[in-house]
Amino acid sequence: MQEYPEQVDCVWLAVDSLGHVAAFITAGVGPIPERVLKNEMPISEIESKLLELPVVTQADLVAKIPSPESFIALAERGLFVFDWQNAHRGRSEVKPGYDLVAVPVRPIKITEIPTNLANIAVNGDLKKHIFAQDNLLDVGSTLPCLCSSEGF
């Protein structure tokens, strides 16, 4: 199993009950499901592999983000995009999960992405959820996760 990537802003993937795929951006401290860290592909390479996928749709930003370009770029590939916004909040404003920040107009299904990425998404199994309906996703309450030693 890969170690938790302390202070490395990286991306992991999950699939929901509709077969849609989401990218979760950790901000270097957000929880990552243990099963995702057991994949052969280093977690630090996932985002670059996603950005190699073709742009397939328009995307909408659903949260105020200072520099939204990378979030939009992932959503244009058909992914729902969640971000660990707690890294940018004061302690009194911390929320229990990843915030939805960008959505694709036409979400892709897990069957539409390469097998190596699909395997990662399957390991981030969030099939009790529907990404389009979840503005905040507490993955730590759904899956065993590793977190940063920062304690968020």
pLDDT confidence band for 127 (50 / 70 / 90): confident
In this predicted structure, the answer to whether residue 49 has a pLDDT above a threshold of 50 is yes
For residue 11, what is the enclosing H or E element?
Answer: strand 11-15
Share of the chain above pLDDT 70, in %: 91
Alpha carbons 19 and 134: distance in angstroms, whole number: 15
More confident site: 78 or 8: 78
What is the domain partition of the chain in residue ranges?
11-136
pLDDT confidence band for 130 (50 / 70 / 90): very high
pLDDT confidence band for 60 (50 / 70 / 90): very high
Alpha carbons 20 and 105: distance in angstroms, whole number: 12
In this predicted structure, the answer to whether residue 151 has a pLDDT above a threshold of 60 is no
Nearest CA-CA partner of 123 in 152, 102, 144: 144
Share of the chain above pLDDT 90, in %: 59
For residue 152, the model assigns a pLDDT of 47
In this predicted structure, the answer to whether residue 93 has a pLDDT above a threshold of 70 is no
Of 2-11, 102-111, 124-133, which range is least confident?
2-11
Nearest CA-CA partner of 109 in 131, 128, 87, 89: 131
149 burial via Cβ count (<10 Å: 0-12, 13-18, 19+): exposed
